[in-house]
Amino acid sequence: MNFFRKILFSAAVLGLMSGGTAEAAGKIVMDGSTTVGPIAKSFAAYFTKTTGVQVTVSESGSGNGAKSLINKTCDIANMSREMKDKEIAAARAKGVNPVEHIVALDGMAVVVHHPGNRVNALSRAQIRGIYQGKYTNWSEVGGPNAKIVVIQRESNSGTQDSFKELVMGKETPITKNAETQASNGAVKNRVGSTPAAVGFIGLGFVDNAVKALKVDGVEPDEMTVKNGSYPITRPLFMYTNGPATGVVKQFIDLKNTPEGKRMISELGFVNR
């Protein structure tokens, strides 16, 4: 009996050494960004099919993804922004060492109703003016005579944080009249059903229901995101506790494979 227990113990140790708790459990748990969600879910379906390892993907927002990694309740935190200094400090206080992996690039698309709004382009200054409440009617920025319905994301969203950083700046608050939606999909649906609305979503969520505007004269597409000429461009992250190993590394490394690159591209995001 003692010999049998030693064998089981040795197997468990080897499993932990080769791939950590995820490999030992035969599954990977992911949580975080709704922007990264489509990539994570596409990777998960392919990875489970090809390896048999079960992958669960929750989309509770970048901030909650960071919390899950800090609390050791996920193996990978999906985030559409970098971890904040205070999150890294909280992680290290709990013995967690966040390591970032850039999985793709994203152009944050500023979207209006299609075909109900004739505006095709705005400058970042105009977008900032709309979101701070300086402009309240589309006629003030070359559009129809209609009150602008401003749509933002919730405070826990990495997309919201990226928008504030890349468009608003630290000193300019978003108007209190802005309506809040909980996901990229919810913003797209609200703008797609509201002729006077404006919102911002990940490039991979743009479809015929909405129109993506040129920003500072540049169209958001694969080329302009990759070369950095589109001004609202950001990386998308997967974070692990320490360097990725075992099945977690194998999963994240999908981004470097022809199949992974194909999935990223087909979802409307941009390979590095």
Q: Check whether residue 113 and residue 97 sit in a common domain.
A: no
Looking at the 3D structure of the chain, how many domains does it have?
2
205 domain residue, yes or no: yes
252 domain residue, yes or no: yes
pTM above 0.85, yes or no: yes
HEC-encoded secondary structure of the chain: CHHHHHHHHHHHHHHHHHHHHHHHHCEEEEEECCCCHHHHHHHHHHHHHHHCCEEEEECCCHHHHHHHHHCCCCCEEEECCCCCHHHHHHHHHCCCCEEEEEEEEEEEEEEEECCCCCCCEECHHHHHHHHHCCCCEHHHHCCCCCECEEEEECCCCHHHHHHHHHHHCCCCCCCCCCEEECCHHHHHHHHHCCCCEEEEEEHHHCCCCEEECEECCECCCHHHHHCCCCCCEEEEEEEEECCCCHHHHHHHHHHHCHHHHHHHHHCCCECC
Q: Check whether residue 11 and residue 130 sit in a common domain.
A: no
Q: Given this model, what pLDDT does residue 12 score? A: 35
Q: Check whether residue 110 and residue 89 sit in a common domain.
A: no
272 domain residue, yes or no: no
Q: Check whether residue 6 and residue 96 sit in a common domain.
A: yes
271 domain residue, yes or no: no
163 domain residue, yes or no: yes
Q: Given this model, what pLDDT does residue 181 score? A: 97
Q: Check whether residue 111 and residue 98 sit in a common domain.
A: no
Q: Check whether residue 113 and residue 219 sit in a common domain.
A: yes
Residue-range definition of the domain harbouring residue 130: 106-233
Q: Given this model, what pLDDT does residue 170 score? A: 83
Q: Check whether residue 219 and residue 260 sit in a common domain.
A: no
Q: Given this model, what pLDDT does residue 17 score? A: 35
197 domain residue, yes or no: yes
229 domain residue, yes or no: yes
73 domain residue, yes or no: yes
CATH code for the domain of 176: 3.40.190.10
Q: Check whether residue 71 and residue 171 sit in a common domain.
A: no
Q: Check whether residue 130 and residue 213 sit in a common domain.
A: yes
> pLDDT tens, position by position, for the chain (272 residues)?
443 333 333 333 333 333 345 756 789 999 999 999 999 999 999 999 999 999 999 999 999 999 999 999 999 999 999 999 999 999 999 999 999 999 999 999 999 999 989 999 999 999 999 999 999 999 999 999 999 999 999 999 999 999 999 999 988 999 999 999 999 999 999 999 999 999 999 999 999 999 999 999 999 999 999 999 999 999 999 999 999 999 999 999 999 999 999 999 999 999 99
Q: Check whether residue 125 and residue 226 sit in a common domain.
A: yes
Q: Given this model, what pLDDT does residue 24 score? A: 60
Q: Check whether residue 166 and residue 192 sit in a common domain.
A: yes
Q: Check whether residue 134 and residue 90 sit in a common domain.
A: no
Q: Given this model, what pLDDT does residue 16 score? A: 35
